[in-house]
């Protein structure tokens, strides 16, 4: 029987999410890949439990994670029922709706019908009464933002979620969404954008809006799906995302790998792994509340948490990193 570690709060750092009361671990675990019905349940379970034991109190899901879609929530539901049930109040569990989930006009995008139905399905799959954070997963150009944000407000008022957020919204739409939610009395607490050394779009407007609005952020694919690690430095391992030809995998070119080689040298001088350098780098921004990692092995979760031993950068290191990224 699983017993949570007594030392689970000793290593982790918790950051306040924007100007809300919610604190999130600096490293969170995402269940997008390697937690589906096609994956080995015992490995998925071991990663979630090790994460919790290391202070990763936040697990991120979405309706469509798997494959097949929905199965990551089922896997997580089994882990909750088997192991984590006694610790429900120590966990922040999120899910999302926005991408294709079922056929017909109510199975994707941003209507009130889709969001509420989808969350009810997610709660059933996970065996939960409520989620801690519910996100609209991607903007919908054809549904009035008032309707989508109204659905998020309703979801909180009906007790299905404690907090709401948005994902993949550009800065102009983030501003509009935040204003509507504020008027409704349900704040937009968190944004989930993609951000890493090779994809820096949030620096061009979004971080400013987050700061002004007091919204926190949890950045996904901080390791560029494994590219910003030592995984591909000596070829393509058979058990990697690229090696297994997963549907979603990092785009690998010799040019990118060469940059990672140079970045890895900086990591070495800091006494860090490449993954730790990439995670510390996204966490350097005050607007980034948490780095949302994926994982295929328990040791990757452990490696990520050990990043917290060395988060600070000298201005010389930052300049060197900028030069490599710009080269
Ligand atoms: P990462 O960029 O962290 O990539 C994870 C992959 O990197 C792992 O599967 C593993 O690859 C490799 N890896 C991780 N840690 C290490 C390490 N220490 N050393 C070497 N390799 C390592 O994140 P993801 O792209 O997986 O995304 C993370 C989460 O973000 C998702 O689970 C999901 O919750 C969220 N997300 C949200 C999206 C949205 O639209 N809101 C979209 C995409 C993700 P390998 O499997 O090859 O071993």
Rounded Cα gap, residues 90 and 94, in angstroms:
13
pTM: 0.98
Atom of ligand 1 nearest to the CA of 61: 34
- Give residue 73 CA to ligand 1 midpoint distance, Å: 17
Ligand 1 pocket residue status of 222, Cβ below 6 Å: yes
- Give residue 249 CA to ligand 1 midpoint distance, Å: 9
Position 202 scores a pLDDT of 98
Rounded Cα gap, residues 226 and 173, in angstroms:
29
Q: DSSP string of 186-231?
A: --EEEEE-B-BTTB-GGGTTHHHHHHHHT-EEEEE-TTGGGTTSST
Atom of ligand 1 nearest to the CA of 241: 47
Ligand 1 pocket residue status of 119, Cβ below 6 Å: no
Rounded Cα gap, residues 317 and 311, in angstroms:
12
Rounded Cα gap, residues 100 and 162, in angstroms:
24
Rounded Cα gap, residues 161 and 94, in angstroms:
9
Ligand 1 pocket residue status of 241, Cβ below 6 Å: yes
What are the pLDDT digits (tens) for 40-64?
999 999 999 999 999 999 999 999 9
Ligand 1 pocket residue status of 225, Cβ below 6 Å: yes
What are the pLDDT digits (tens) for 106-157?
999 999 999 999 999 999 999 999 999 999 999 999 999 999 999 999 999 9
Ligand 1 pocket residue status of 73, Cβ below 6 Å: no
Q: Where do the domains of the chain lie, and which CATH numbers do they carry?
A: 14-226+285-297 (3.20.20.100)
Nearest to 2 by CA among 52, 38, 66: 52
Atom of ligand 1 nearest to the CA of 226: 7
E runs forming strands in the chain: 14-16, 23-25, 27-30, 58-60, 92-97, 131-136, 161-167, 188-192, 216-220, 290-293
């Amino acid at each position: 029987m699983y017993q949570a570690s007594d030392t689970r709060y000793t290593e982790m750092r918790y950051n306040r999410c924007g100007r809300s009361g919610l604190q999130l671990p600096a490293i969170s675990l995402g269940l997008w890949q390697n937690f589906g019905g096609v994956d080995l349940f015992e490995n998925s379970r071991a990663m979630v439990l090790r994460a919790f034991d290391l202070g990763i109190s936040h697990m991120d899901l979405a309706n469509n994670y798997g494959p097949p879609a929905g199965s990551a929530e089922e896997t997580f539901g089994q882990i909750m029922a088997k192991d984590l049930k006694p610790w429900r109040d120590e966990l922040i569990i999120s899910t999302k709706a926005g991408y294709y989930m079922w056929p017909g006009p109510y199975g994707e995008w941003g209507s009130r019908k889709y969001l509420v139905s989808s969350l009810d399905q997610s709660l059933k799959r996970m065996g939960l009464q409520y989620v801690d954070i519910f996100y609209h997963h991607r903007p919908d150009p054809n549904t009035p933002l008032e309707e989508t944000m109204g659905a998020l407000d309703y979801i909180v008022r009906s007790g299905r979620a404690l907090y709401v957020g948005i994902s993949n919204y550009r800065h102009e739409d983030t501003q509009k969404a935040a204003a509507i939610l504020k008027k409704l009395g349900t704040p937009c607490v968190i944004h989930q954008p993609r951000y890493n050394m090779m994809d820096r779009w949030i620096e061009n407007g979004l971080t400013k809006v987050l700061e002004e609005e007091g919204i926190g952020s949890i950045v996904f694919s901080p390791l560029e799906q494994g590219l910003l690690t030592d995984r591909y430095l000596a070829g393509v391992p058979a058990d990697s995302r690229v090696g297994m030809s997963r549907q979603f995998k990092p785009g690998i070119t010799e040019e990118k790998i060469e940059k990672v080689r140079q970045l890895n040298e900086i990591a070495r001088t800091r006494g860090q792994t490449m993954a730790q350098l990439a995670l510390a780098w996204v966490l350097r921004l005050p607007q980034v509340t948490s780095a949302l990692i994926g994982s295929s092995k328990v040791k990757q979760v452990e490696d990520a948490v050990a990043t917290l031993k060395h988060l600070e950068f000298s201005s010389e290191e930052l300049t060197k990193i900028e030069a490599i990224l710009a080269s």
